[in-house]
Amino acid sequence: MRTAVLGIALLLVGLVAMLAGVLPGPDAVAVAQRVWPILLFVVAITVVAELAAEAGLFALLASRLVRWGRGSAWLLWLLVVVLATLSTVFLSLDTTAVLLTPVVISLARHAGLPPLPFALTTVWLACTASLLLPVSNLTNLLAEHAIDEASAAGGGGPLGPAGFAALMAVPAVVAVVVPCVVLAVVFRHQLSRRYAVVSEPAGSGATETEARDSGAPEHDRFLLIAAATVVLVLLPLLVSGLPVWLPALVAAVVLGACFLVRRPTALRVALVPWQLVLLASGLFLVAEAAHALGLGTALAVVAGTGDDLPALLQLAGVGLLGANLADNLPAYLALEPIAGDPVRFAALLIGVNAGALITPWASLATLLWHSRLTAAGVAFGWGRFILLGLVVAPLTVVFSTVALWIVHR
């Protein structure tokens, strides 16, 4: 609710800026035209992810991971790393932080392992693995649009998901590896344990335990299959070059129709992330008004120019600081006009996405993750989170930016 209140307050500030003439009406309309497809995608993909979780898809995957881990905590953790990375890349960081966190906590407890290494893996990778595709993070969608606009102004074509992935591929890999190395070192003793694997009777399907863990009882097998099918069809469409809101919206409608038939009580207003939509809308308006007052000129002095390594590190570092002082979305919006070219946009995304690991408010996903952690009864104070973040965030941003420069110099 505090997110919604803040969003409404920001919308009111934007309205005042419009009435005062600071933000001209045509500029506000241009902002709305730019962001409605992005916000529609966020709503649709969130609904898909929530309904897939309701159908038991994530929990079923987790129960399989316990078996595939073969009793090794190290192997189980690596499988969680893969699942969290894929979830973030294709379904966005919020999906990983909000929906996957309680699943991996349950997974760890079911295996008799400490849940914290698995839970911290989800929130770190929710931020750092969100560099590869436009759909992985709201800031990426904004950056792709801005890069396409700059390219069109110069007579070039749109970047597209493939071009975006090519730009971000190497730093995205580095941004996943560095936090995992830190996690492996910090939690090496907990991850060196063994756990008992419950064997599945030969020739049987899912066990009763798996069905219970998945949240999908036998009479809801239809919903589980429907959710899996929708997600499998959706993933390649998100990188097909279609406007991402279109396949996401169709997927949400199809999956919603399945639930309407089988479990209509699951279709509730809370599925729609309306608080995030309000917050993002307010931030867009206020950021545009701030740029009209000269914010971009002031930030250009701090963020520098150029594509050499010191310049890219400077921009990524400013993005890291901005994200942890305010939040990654307003930090990106403030710095977007001075990014300039694709490589500088990539450095900015490294800073505001992979660097948002220190303060609780650096990413909304982190706050949502901690609320799920608390609800699951896992104690983890913000002091320790910040201390670990002070180690992993600079390392991740520096190594990822260096990788970006090496590939694109």
Residue 253 pLDDT: 96
Rounded distance between C-alpha atoms, residue 290 and residue 270, angstroms = 32
pTM of the shown model:
0.81
Query: Does the pLDDT of residue 235 top 60, yes or no?
Result: yes
pLDDT of residue 282: 84
Quote the pLDDT of residue 217.
Answer: 44
Beta carbons of 59 and 107 less than 8 angstroms apart: no
Q: What is the pLDDT of residue 209?
A: 43
Rg of the chain, C-alpha, whole Å: 21
Is residue 194 classed as helix, strand or coil in its secondary structure?
A: strand
Q: How far apart are CA 51 and CA 40, in angstroms?
A: 17
Tokens for 187, please give them: 């939690």
Per-residue pLDDT band for 296 (boundaries 50, 70, 90) equals low
Tell me: the pLDDT tens digits for 214-225?
Answer: 333 444 889 999
**Average pLDDT for 323-348:** 89
Average pLDDT over residues 388-402: 97
**Is 204 or 269 the better-scoring residue by pLDDT?**
269
User: 238 or 230, which is more confident?
Assistant: 230
Nearest to 180 by CA among 132, 130, 120: 120
Q: What pLDDT, on a 0 to 100 scale, did the predictor assign at position 384?
A: 94
What's residue 1's pLDDT? 66
Q: Count other C-beta atoms under 10 Å from residue 264's C-beta.
A: 10
Alpha helices (H) along 239-308: 245-262, 274-292, 295-303
pLDDT of 210? 43
Residue 298 banded pLDDT, cuts 50, 70, 90: confident
Q: How far apart are CA 263 and CA 227, in angstroms?
A: 13
pLDDT for 273 = 82
Binned at pLDDT 50, 70 and 90, residue 334 comes out as confident
Quote the pLDDT of residue 205.
37
Q: What is the pLDDT of residue 30?
A: 81
Lowest mean pLDDT among 144-158, 179-193, 376-390, 392-406: 144-158
Phi first, then psi: what are they for 64, rounded to 5°?
-70, -35
Average pLDDT, rounded, for the chain:
86
User: Alpha-carbon distance 164 to 160, whole Å?
Assistant: 6
Greater model confidence, 64 or 276 = 64
Predicted confidence at residue 199, as pLDDT, reads: 52
Closest alpha carbon to 327 in 273, 368, 381: 368
Closest listed residue to residue 91, CA positions, set 45, 55, 51, 59:
45
pLDDT over 70 percentage in the chain: 93
Q: What average pLDDT does the segment 358-367 reach?
A: 88
Q: pLDDT at position 207, please?
A: 40
pLDDT at position 84: 94
Question: What pLDDT sits at residue 80?
Answer: 94
Q: What is the predicted pLDDT for the residue at 203?
A: 32
Helix axes 73-91, 116-128, angle to 10 degrees: 30
Is pLDDT of 381 > 80?
Answer: yes
Q: At what angle do helices 57-68 and 73-91 cross, to 10 degrees?
A: 150
Lowest mean pLDDT among 34-43, 121-130, 397-406: 34-43
Which of 326, 338, 337 lies closest to 283, judged by CA?
Answer: 326
More confident residue, 271 or 213: 271
Least confident stretch, 28-42, 96-110, 310-324: 28-42
Closest CA to 210 of 372, 79, 58: 58
| Cα separation, 405 vs 307, whole angstroms | 8
User: What helix, strand, coil percent values describe the chain, rounded to 5?
Assistant: 80, 0, 20
Instruction: Decide if pLDDT at 111 tops 90.
Output: no
Phi-psi region of 156 (alpha: psi -120 to 50; beta: other; left: phi over 0): beta
